[in-house]
Structure 1
């Protein structure tokens, strides 16, 4: 184991369609009074909408209820898209119509200009399966261009074509899916290579590992390297937030290791245990002190070293985290039992374990789980890079104070989370 310790943007699309509504408070959809049409989906969301809805609720505090007003939808967009503000005119309490929802979402997803590249013939072709029954003049309209762009880019899912065709009030499922699609277009949604059950998941993992490198981030490393030299921490990890999975905390676990062969076998192990989970590969560099009495450290594609003033070295090792989002809390809970049975050493040369199993495997959850122990993360960020050092809770304050002395301007965040029992024992000084 290597680890040691809103400018304002005019809503041109909506204006072109003469739609209006004002900005209002964040939505509380249970109290909305929008009428429900025969074809609109009731309060039971589609599976896709349910997944987006759970993400919107956990990450942004946006609740998906049984109906939407125009103002509520605009405010939900503003809650998730912070680089622009959707400004509306008119009554906030009017029901949100499906076509208007598509237009607002297209603008928020930075796809607005694309719409105006569609001539009437191209718009008609793109909208063929929507079966609008429009005249040729209607297909030359701005409304047609907006809908065509939404269809072509996948923003508008085919199951919601009837709501567009019949000019209906937006169903809660359509509203949730559009918000989810905006998140995806903006790079704000979950990031993952695939599922444990995908036929090509091992290929994708291999490609991700081979194209990852030791993270440099020299300015950030300078700060945490000083912490290493001062024995403030015994190790730290460097990561890049652009690879963060953004999974739901309630359903996810992050698992760290250094040997890629172990990763392949771990995914195979989960498949054999009938675990379907989303998988994201998060490159990681682990740094720790390499003592001079251990001999010449050498270098390779997997690690590099820098000698420090006392003759010791800081070693930077190429490692990784695998983030898993499980289909259920039950499967998340099962993960611990699977690892302890098949990926945790209890004796030398122990049979029946996957390759490279550690005495003290490292995996953690941001929500509480049985048999996990609460510890602290001491995290420093610089741009999209961050360094983190895990510690016992009572050691977190001194670590933070030490970081601040090294760099008073450092962006430091501390939070508690839950780690597997063996790694907790490691932090307490146990070797096995």
Structure 2
């Protein structure tokens, strides 16, 4: 069976003023279509070096996203599935279950590639939650010769923990996983976004990435009836999975199909804005507009229907960093900017997969001085990154302009 792969522009989001819509429309290219066989990635295996890794990553992230949906469905009726970490960051059994599931599956296929991930099993052990996590993982794990045990799950979680592997200064190949980026969003009854993010890093460079966002909704408000039907057919259902392979672009397809239609991959591109005051910006949930360098030159508004001169439209996108990368890579936002706070540690798994997805969609990621993010700076664990000033993610057109503003305001 053949599937259609659409190489399409991203649709503008619902809340754009007429000025923003007109500017956005001028930057979009015409669609192109390709036919390939079903169940394949949207580029040829023979020319993509990490095809098998990406194929496996897509499969396991889709299952992990399904695990999240299943756990969330009982979240507000089962008390023991809503937990608190010692640092008061909300976390769920799904968080540990996703890490265990991906660790188990990736270790079967690529046993020589270590895993760098957010969690370890200490919390699960201290609260006697291994059985609950095991139940969640068992429903999604591939078949094995013998049933999984609680010990299997605990070891799988710890395989990605901070003490699991010491890298040193030599170039390394490893997976980077954020089991649920935006756990606060996961715990909300609303449609706040959360993301399962997985990347493969080879010698300091992200080469493949997969993000599963179970509650992403495609915007169809700006499409004509024919485009709306086409997009509804291609992305109907709940959520999306976004993939990127170095040199082969960024693509999305529906995560959970609600129809019998074949899977359709859609090519993603960043938006085409080249004027700062007409861009759409995301910022971290914990930071304010006033904390950013742009606030010295522009005002901000979240009211898309009433954007006036010298105002930047700030989009609300709870929660986590990866949902903002997803928005920039899909063309829904133009900028994501994060200030590095004093005494705040920035983790590699909050950025690695998003960096590749934005880059392959035509965007750019750097620190506030314009330098690339160094994933190998934390030589021992590859868990931390140290961007100077903060992290800047843009559609590429705006990158140098934002860097200039940062530089100018920092010297005042």
TM-score (norm: length of structure 1):
0.22
Q: Point out the structure with the larger helix share.
A: 1
TM-score (norm: length of structure 2):
0.23
Larger Rg, first or second structure (1 or 2): 1
Higher relative contact order (CA 8 A, sep 6+): 2
